[in-house]
Structure 1
Amino acid sequence: MQAPYLIGQIKPLTTAEFQQITATVTFPLPVSYRDFLYTYGLGAFNELLMIHQPDEAYIRSNFGEYMDLWELPESEEPVVLNGLTIATTIDGDIIAAIDNTQFPFIILPRHSDKILRFGTFEEVIDYYDHTYHFSGDLYFDSYYNYEQENITFVNGPAIDKALFEKVHRDFLANIPTDKVYNEDKQPKYIIQEMGGWVYFDNIYKSSVRIKYQSQYRPVADKIIQFVRDRMA
């Protein structure tokens, strides 16, 4: 895994916080997963792979009666059912750590019955890097103090696309940014000063999303107000 571009302030997990996670399962969690949490904490890669608070009951609660969705030997079902869900994807895949020394990570795909198995957490991230065609251009968006504002351009049954385009132009002319992703499609403008980004929905021209971290709220408020003022 290549080191990702970091957005905002990350919050690596402490030893005590990781021990709280290990206490929820009866098997040792992989070192590569521990090291990832100690380095980055919780967050998302490119808004497509979400590493969230682990849930030891997720698979059992939601798929206890539906394990036939995937090709799995009956003897292995208890291992998977007792797995620790550590991440999900925008497409509905479930990533879990299980009690297996050789392949302690599995992916339960949303659109396939073939379970995928991996030896390290880095291999899981590399798999999605390839699947989603990130081409190694990964960014990690921390969940630490995460807040979001959604500004809509929908006015009754209509969408004011002309206003959306005007606001977008004004934003580019007046607001400095640190980096941009998907510039030609759905641009996401990174602003490290507020620990987040401004996302323009260029396809539907219906909304602007502004993500920031609460400790940088004064900076975010200025940008939110900038957008709203130009909609008046």
Structure 2
Amino acid sequence: MKNNIYYIGKANSVSEAEICNVENLAKYSLPEDYKIFLADYGYGNLNELLLFEIPDENFIKNNFAQYLDLWEWNETLQQKALHSVMIAKTIDGDIILALNDEDSPYLLLPRHSEYPKSFVSLWEIINWYKNEYHLKKLYFDSFYQNDWRFFQIEGEFSDLTLEKINILYKKFKKNYTIDMIFGEENYQPKCVLQNIGGWVYFNLDTGEIRMKFQKLFSSKANEIIKFLQQYASIK
């Protein structure tokens, strides 16, 4: 799995002790491939779509115990979900659960469908989202020591705004060593810079700029922030 996902930033692995603590609370073992994933990647997001956060053994009990009829499923699966561990969610509201079930240890509760989906492996889930959202290349963006900045190109007319951000994007590519670019074909390039543990995103249609970096690389990140502030207003 590690060879198929591009990693952004410095990893912060989840320790065995942290995982054991969750397992003790849940009273069953989490899937091995999920534990390996946390050891390799830690917490973060996959393509700003699938969010791997601290596992929560009370998520369904606290949020959906009275709303289990939102989905079409049998009583057995409902009970497994009720006593499951929430391991991930999506920006669209899907919920990924780890069940106490050796044959089908993963369950997806979709936000926009009444029918839960069962999976046998974490990679099967990731591959399903890759196909569903037509993701060309997978990348994992660590939550470790995250910090953000938001900018906006100012312009009275939209054409002027578009011209300014396109000029800025060209200058940015010329001035900085970029390790990888995602989304350039959609006019929304996300330029990865490993020396800040993050990226700078340009929306070439709206003039919006987002920057994510890890605090341990603040010195280099501040250089880029000053550069961007010459051309865009910080929000």
Q: TM-score, normalised on structure 1?
A: 0.91
- Equivalent positions of 1:146-165 (< 5 A) are 146-153=146-153, 160-165=161-166
Tell me which residue corresponds to 1:192.
Answer: 194
Deviates most, 154-163 or 106-115 = 154-163
Tell me which residue corresponds to 2:24.
Answer: 23
- Equivalent positions of 1:164-175 (< 5 A) are 164-175=165-176
Gaps of 5+ in 1: none
Q: Name the count of aligned residue pairs.
A: 230
**Shift of residue 154 of structure 1?**
5.5
**Percent of aligned pairs sharing the same letter:** 35
Deviates most, 145-154 or 83-92 = 145-154
Deviates most, 165-174 or 43-52 = 165-174
Alpha-carbon distance change, 60 to 230 in structure 1, aligned in 2, over 3 angstroms = same
Tell me which residue corresponds to 1:203.
Answer: 205
Contact 1:189 1:199 in 2 (8 A): yes
Tell me which residue corresponds to 1:143.
Answer: 143
**Shift of residue 211 of structure 1?**
0.5
1:75 is paired with a residue whose SS is helix
Q: TM-score, normalised on structure 2?
A: 0.90
- Equivalent positions of 1:89-108 (< 5 A) are 89-108=90-109
Q: Which has the higher helix share?
A: 2
Contact 1:7 1:139 in 2 (8 A): yes
Whole-angstrom CA distance in 1 between matches of 2:180 and 2:26: 40
Gaps of 5+ in 2: none
Alpha-carbon distance change, 60 to 155 in structure 1, aligned in 2, over 3 angstroms = farther
Computed over aligned residues only, the root mean square deviation of the Cα atoms, in angstroms, reads 2.0
Contact 2:43 2:53 in 1 (8 A): yes
Alpha-carbon distance change, 83 to 178 in structure 1, aligned in 2, over 3 angstroms = same
**Shift of residue 46 of structure 1?**
0.8
Whole-angstrom CA distance in 1 between matches of 2:120 and 2:134: 22
**Shift of residue 57 of structure 1?**
1.7
**Shift of residue 170 of structure 1?**
2.1
Contact 1:102 1:119 in 2 (8 A): yes
Contact 2:151 2:232 in 1 (8 A): no
Alpha-carbon distance change, 105 to 169 in structure 1, aligned in 2, over 3 angstroms = same
Tell me which residue corresponds to 2:13.
Answer: 12
